[in-house]
Amino acid sequence: MIRYLRLYGYFLQFSFSKAFEFRIDFYFRILMDVVYYIMNLLFFKVIFLHSKYLAGWSESQVMIFVGAFIVVDALNMTVFANNSWNVAQLVNRGDLDYYLVRPVSTFFFVSLRDFAANSFVNLIMAVSILVWAFMKYPEPIGLLRTLLFGLLVLNGSLLYFLVLMLFIIPVFWTHSARGLQPLFWTTSKFMERPHAIYSRVVRWVLMTIMPFALMASVPASVLFAPNPWAITLGSLLVTVAFMSLVLFIWSLGLRNYSSASS
Amino acid sequence: MTWFNAMFAAEFKRMFSYRVDFWLQFFVSVAVELMVSYFLWEALFASTATPGVVPGHAPEIGGYTFQMMLLYVVFAAFGGRIVRGNERMIIASDIYDGGLTKYLLYPVSYLMVNFSRALAYNSVTIIQMGMGLLLLFAFYGLPPEYNFSFENMLMGTSACLVASAFYFVMYVIIDYIAFWVDTIWSLSVMFRFIAQFLSGLFIPLEMFPPAVRRAVYQTPFPYIGSEPIKMFLGRSSWSQWAHTNLTIILWTIPLFFLMQLVWRRGLKNYTGVGI
């Protein structure tokens, strides 16, 4: 475990020095995410000009949801995005060889090697927006619920990455340029709205088979729901199931991998 | 124009080379977009809606009944695709990997090569829109307050095509920035967010506060989204069609010259990686 933490420390050092080499991209990416955050906030601000509630959620509750969604997105952009986007290229070009010969878990190496330092700045902004949304919430939120919320946001971020990987790993067989990533980007739009708006069947699908609701919306609901423990336990179980599934399919993919260069 | 036809055909062929992927991506993306919007508007209309202007009529938000709002979403999904075109950052890739060099040696304009690609993409998108609308109307029918007419379709589609020329020029300018900057991906994504929001492709501009709406109408964006959609919905006249297209053309002309300027300056900076 210590070895993996130390290795991750080196990844961080390398990523920060790399980010500062491409300074303009550093600022562009920060700007892009800021625009994305503003657009999301404005979207719901406009919606709430015409209604006091959206599927039973008040504006302040939805703002916490938006904050959670933004933090999950920022966490992903910071920790996982650069890595997951590269997987298809690694497999198709045979560059995965470099990772396979390392004396550490290939999945760990491939998933966490590149830390997006520029998005880290956005993560700070995203957390600030979430704190602002919390402060604007009219009723007191208990410490326990806040901690569960924090845990579920982190869990949602991991789940987001795992589901994305499920769409990317087929590249071992299809050898397409990006795997099924475009389909993931399309379906992930379900995550951008509170799950309360969906019908019961769709909501069930979004909490189990395609758990986009568990990434931001359900974590936000843990602050207001009558039974936060059931939600927390359910969310964690789904993540464990998805983690097992991804690792299993990843190992199948590795068995199917033939280095392009050899 | 043989080369133009050839490029057009090549792009057409490229798009259909992964047929399953192509159609799956199209249908899934449209289906998800419409589903998410359907549930959002259903929830919003259920939460609150002002009574109709005429007593006894269906409740409205921003001047749209629930049925008309869904139709707005449908036309925003299809019209938006025509306007946005392929958004593949091909030019930036050509600059980064040196692929531009071969086009510089060809006796055709690089811009026209890309324009023919964009036109091919738009042709397929229009075919997709026709099929999508046919399927949706066949399964769900039309709202009683909507009068379908081919005239409206013609107005909307032509306005979308004119708008796509504006969007193409904007996108090419952003792509040309690749002559100076290592990656322009974030810049183009940022432009797409802003354009989609301010053009009313996410929410009808009628839902914005009046002062904000007036400010947004000082930009070209409403004319590439909201206005063409209104044409599809039968809420525009031919004079409004002319005004929309003229406004977009007036925005496009100076941007076109800016694009040419950026191209000339950028070429001086081009190193032709891989030569």
* Residue A72: per-residue pLDDT: 96
Give the per-residue pLDDT at A155: 96
Domain ranges of chain A: 2-256
Mean per-residue pLDDT, A52-63:
94
Q: Considering Cα of B121, then B127, then B132, then B133, what sign does the dihedral take? A: positive
The pLDDT of residue B151 is: 94
pLDDT number for residue B50 = 56
Residues of B in contact with A29 (CB under 8 A): 186
Q: Give the pLDDT confidence score for residue B52 in this predicted structure.
A: 54
Q: From the centroid of its chain, how far is CA B104?
A: 29
**Which of B28, B32, B44 is closest, CB to CB, to A54?**
B44
Confidence of residue B274 (pLDDT cuts 50, 70, 90): low
Amino acid B252: pLDDT? 97
Alpha carbon distance A171, A184 (integer Å): 14
Among the partner-chain residues B186, B193, B203, the one whose CB lies closest to the CB of A28 is B186
Cα–Cα dist B231/B234, whole Å: 5
Return the residue matching tokens 């909507």: B146
Contact state of A51 with B187 under an 8 Å Cβ cutoff: no
Closest CA to A42 of B61, B200, B227: B200
**pLDDT(A262) > 60:** no
User: What are residue B55's phi and psi, to 5 degrees?
Assistant: -55, 135
Binary contact (A28, B18; C-beta < 8 A): no
Asked if the model's pLDDT at residue B77 lies above 80, the reply is yes
Q: Residue B95's closest CA among B181, B169, B26?
A: B181
Mean pLDDT of A216-223: 95
Rg of chain A, C-alpha, whole Å: 19
What pLDDT score does A260 carry?
61
> What are the residue ranges spanned by the domains of chain B?
2-269
- B162 contacts: CB under 8 Å, gap ≥ 6: B244, B245, B248, B249
Least confident of B54-63, B181-190, B246-255: B54-63
pLDDT for A190: 95
Identify the residue among A197, A206, A217 best suited for mutation to test binding to B, counting B beta carbons within 10 A and taking the highest: A197
Q: Are B230 and B205 in contact (CB under 8 A)?
A: no
> Quick check: B55 pLDDT over 70?
no
The secondary element (H helix, E strand) that includes residue A244 is helix A228-256
Rounded Cα distance, B213 and A80, in Å: 38
CA pair distance A122, A71, nearest whole angstrom: 9
3-class DSSP state of B13 = helix
Percent of chain A with pLDDT over 70: 97
Residue A148 in this model has a pLDDT that exceeds 60: yes
Kindly determine whether residue A192 and residue B36, on different chains, have CB atoms separated by under 8 Å.
yes
Region B171-176: what's the mean pLDDT?
93
Confidence of residue B70 (pLDDT cuts 50, 70, 90): very high
- Among partner residues B25, B36, B187, which is closest to A183 by beta-carbon distance? B25
Residue of B nearest to A37 (CA): B193
pLDDT band at residue B79 under the 50/70/90 scheme = very high
pLDDT of residue B1: 59
Q: How many CB pairs under 8 A join A and B?
A: 98
Interchain pair A24, B43: CB under 8 A:
no
The whole-angstrom separation of Cα B127 and Cα A149 is: 46
CA distance B44 to B37: 10
CA distance between the termini of chain B: 30
Task: Of A173-187, A193-207, B178-192, give the range with the top mean pLDDT.
Answer: A193-207
Q: Which of B26, B186, B206 has the most A C-beta neighbours within 10 Å, making it the best mutation to test the interface with A?
A: B186
Residue A188, helix vs strand vs coil: helix
Alpha carbon distances (Å) from B268 to A90, B101, B177, B180 = 34, 13, 13, 10
Residue A57: enclosing H or E segment and its boundaries?
strand A57-58
State pLDDT tens for residues B209-232.
Answer: 999 999 999 999 999 999 999 999
B29-46 tens-digit pLDDT: 889 999 999 999 999 998
pLDDT the model gives residue B28: 86
pLDDT band at residue B173 using 50, 70 and 90 as cut-offs: very high
Estimate to the nearest angstrom the gap between the alpha carbon of A49 and the chain centroid.
Answer: 29
Question: Taking a C-beta distance cutoff of 8 angstroms, is the pair A179, B18 a contact?
Answer: no
Average model confidence (pLDDT) across chain B = 88
Nearest-CB residue to A54 (from B43, B193, B194): B43
Of A101, A102, A99, A67, whose CA–CA distance to A83 is shortest? Answer: A99
**ipTM value of the model?**
0.87
